[in-house]
Amino acid sequence: MKVLMGPDPSQIYRPDGGKNKEDFRNYTSGPLLDRVYTTYKLMHTHQTVDFVRRKHKEFGGFTYKKMTVMEAVELLDGLVDESDPDVDFPNSFHAFQTAEGIRKAHPDKDWFHLVGLLHDLGKILVMAGEPQDNPDTKDPRYCTDYGMYEPNCGLENVLMSWGHDEYMYRMMKFNKFSLPPEAFYMIRFHSFYPWHTGSDYRHLCSPHDLSMLPWVQEFNKFDLYTKSEDLPDVSMLRPYYQGLIDKYCPGVLCW
């Protein structure tokens, strides 16, 4: 597939009186800064190689819960993302805002609309007692450009930090979601800002990774710039997205 870049949603879908593009992802000032700082400090403190491998074993069997995708969305009604400096409302609204932004810009790609709804569902980990998420910085095995990897090994062979996106990617694979490869890349790597925004880790990328990068970047625009205190009417949107769930990931799933 070729990525046909949509219009910048920071301009098209921002409500009147909303934020400017440069005001999003502000980590230097704002009322939520202390909460965000604490969350990221905990993430970077605990994300060692051993920690990630333990989490793969702990959650890799997907025995935590059985529920439908829409039931998972509804769980996010009770979750505010502590790592996000832009929002202080339940994460379920952000899921629908992202999905609707994608739907307007890419009306012919219904699977892409569904990715917008799915992308943060891994945050149900918080309900399992996981923090909204390092000693490895002193381990010589990891403190080179390549660390424990070979050049151009491909991101599928890289041990990603543990969090909602890695969990959701693995959950989708386990439950055999019938979505295209682009969708799995968007879910897995949408929080990997050093790669998709900072141009880091290119030395580990395979040609396939680089071909997927424009899709992740396209998704990222909607993830960031559709956030607004003007909350959608979820009851009006739910039937459309239930239809997509029934098409691509139906029934009761293992989480």
Provide the annotated binding site: 94, 119-120, 164, 190, 223
Residues 79 and 123: beta-carbon distance below 8 Å? yes
DSSP, collapsed to helix, strand or coil, labels residue 234 as helix
Return the structure tokens found at 219: 């998704």
Q: Which residues of 99-133 are buried (b: 16+ CB within 10 A; e: fewer)?
A: bbbbbbbbeebbbbbbbbbbbbbbbbbbeeebebb
Within 10 Å of residue 199's Cβ, how many Cβ atoms?
9
Q: Name which of 96, 40, 106 is nearest 70 in CA terms.
A: 96
- Angle ∠(109,17,91) on CA atoms, nearest 5: 50
Return the structure tokens found at 128: 């399992």
From the annotation, which residues make up the binding site for Fe cation? 94, 119-120, 164, 190, 223
Element (H, E) at 182: helix 181-189
91-105 and 234-248 helices, crossing angle to 10°: 70
Residues 47 and 166: beta-carbon distance below 8 Å? no
Per 3-state DSSP, the chain is made up of helix, strand and coil in percentages (nearest 5) of 55, 0, 45
Q: Report d(CA 107, CA 41) in Å as an integer.
A: 39
